[in-house]
Amino acid sequence: MKLQQVLSVVRKALEDYHMIDDGDKIAVGISGGKDSLTLLYALSGLRRFYPQKFELMAVTVDLGFQNLDLSKIDALCAELHVKYEIVKTDIAQIIFEDRKESNPCSLCAKMRKGALNEAVKAAGFNKIAYAHHKDDVVETMLMSLIYEGRFHTFSPVTYLDRTELTVIRPLLYMHEADVVGFVNKYNLPVVKSPCPADGHTKREYVKQLLQQLNRENPGVKERMFTAIQTGSLKGWK
């Protein structure tokens, strides 16, 4: 997928769900993975000509793993003229050494989001952009069906009452395969997650299940996404 195509898809999501207002200060949560780097690149490109003017920064919550090298992401941000902040934490030690969590993902996500929100708030920014793409939307819905017994997924735009921050998801219409193609085409500096739980989660299981369903029933992911859009889920109208 070429940059112009990515910008078009992202812009459609921004406008369909009114994600950006004039004067917004938007922080992109950077994990180092392909999705967040694609989002950063896209918003940086849109910033030049989007009708609503907005400020951009990138934030990575460093969980404390020893072998995490963010130097190439730092260089990318400098190239894009985007301020980059790395928030140092001891989350990895707390979860894997102190608490020895058998199911670490939920607590880690809460602590990571808390650290991110605090840093964004301290910087004076009012919105956070998460890099959830179309596959993430459907996978989250399927996880809710399987493990919680309810039809639910995250919203395109979410207002966080406690922090007075707004979360936006501009990659909403991008397929994961398109993200992979874009990252490879533009040689973005993806950093592999050093987390020992990476690739061994319920989400990974649901991802594999959904891929199998889509192979056996071509187009099922698109139909599920349509069901989410046309259903009664909050924030999707």
Per-residue confidence (pLDDT) for residue 73, from 0 to 100: 96
Strand order in the sheet with 157-160: 83-88, 54-62, 24-29, 127-129, 165-168, 157-160
The closest of 79, 72, 73, 68 to 29, measured between CA atoms, is 73
Residue 210 pLDDT class (50, 70, 90 cuts): very high
pLDDT at 111 over 80: yes
Per-residue confidence (pLDDT) for residue 199, from 0 to 100: 63
Per-residue confidence (pLDDT) for residue 200, from 0 to 100: 66
Q: What digits encode the pLDDT tens for the residues 52-69?
A: 999 999 999 999 888 789
pLDDT at 196 over 90: no
Rounded mean pLDDT, 90-110: 85
Residue 101 pLDDT class (50, 70, 90 cuts): confident
Q: What digits encode the pLDDT tens for the residues 224-234?
A: 999 999 998 98
Q: What is the pTM of this model?
A: 0.93
Rounded mean pLDDT, 9-14: 97
Per-residue confidence (pLDDT) for residue 112, from 0 to 100: 93
User: Regarding the domain with residue range 3-230, which homologous superfamily does it belong to in the CATH classification?
Assistant: HUPs (3.40.50.620)
Written as one letter, the residue type at 14 is L
Per-residue confidence (pLDDT) for residue 68, from 0 to 100: 83
